[in-house]
Amino acid sequence: MAKLSSPPRAEGLTCDLFVRHLPKQVDFSQLQADLTNLEVSCKAAWDHVKVIAKRDSGPVFKSKAPAFLKECAQRIIILKAVHRRVRNRYHSFLLYFGYPSSSVRNMTVSKFFKLISDFALEYHTTRAQILQQRERQERLQREAVPRSSRGDRGDKRQKESRLSE
């Protein structure tokens, strides 16, 4: 088992959290409405295909258009299921972080990821300030050691000059 000679670097955390600002740029509140509009449009397209199929008796149209709309409907159903599962996992994620169950439904994805992004920025700046402060302290300690040794020599010279007077 390898022993760590230095603490683990936290840069990975900062980088990971900065990447998390991307989801806050997506309008998740509009997603549910978009899925509903897709479903309504698909149902309307079925009605239009039925009307067109009555007037146009081409076998290509009768086979390809319904097949395309059937595939679209299946994809919309899958998208809605994925959206529902992701939303449920997001709510579980908020509960894991300690949000009360009453406020989980009110916390939007955009708000949450803005909070995470702000935390990452604050973490990054605070960490940089602490590292700079440590470097200054170490530099001052390194500079203090040679001064004290020079100061001893200076004191001896001053004593010698006083004694000679």
Q: pLDDT by residue (tens digit) across 70-92?
A: 999 999 999 999 999 999 999 99
Q: In this structure, are 30 and 98 located in the same domain? A: yes
Domain that holds residue 116: 108-151
Q: In this structure, are 33 and 93 located in the same domain? A: yes
Confirm whether 159 is domain-assigned.
no
Does this model's pTM top 0.85? My answer is no
Q: In this structure, are 144 and 85 located in the same domain? A: no
94 neighbors 112 (Cβ within 8 angstroms): yes
Q: In this structure, are 112 and 100 located in the same domain? A: no
Q: In this structure, are 141 and 95 located in the same domain? A: no
Residue 16: pLDDT band with limits 50, 70, 90: low
Q: In this structure, are 83 and 134 located in the same domain? A: no
90 Cβ contact partners less than 8 Å away, ≥ 6 residues apart: 109
At residue 107, the 3 state secondary structure works out as coil
Task: Say which residue, 51 or 57, is predicted with more confidence.
Answer: 51
Task: Say which residue, 139 or 17, is predicted with more confidence.
Answer: 139
Q: In this structure, are 118 and 94 located in the same domain? A: no
Q: Provide the token pair at 13.
A: 């955390």
The count of structural domains within the chain is 2
pLDDT at 64: 84
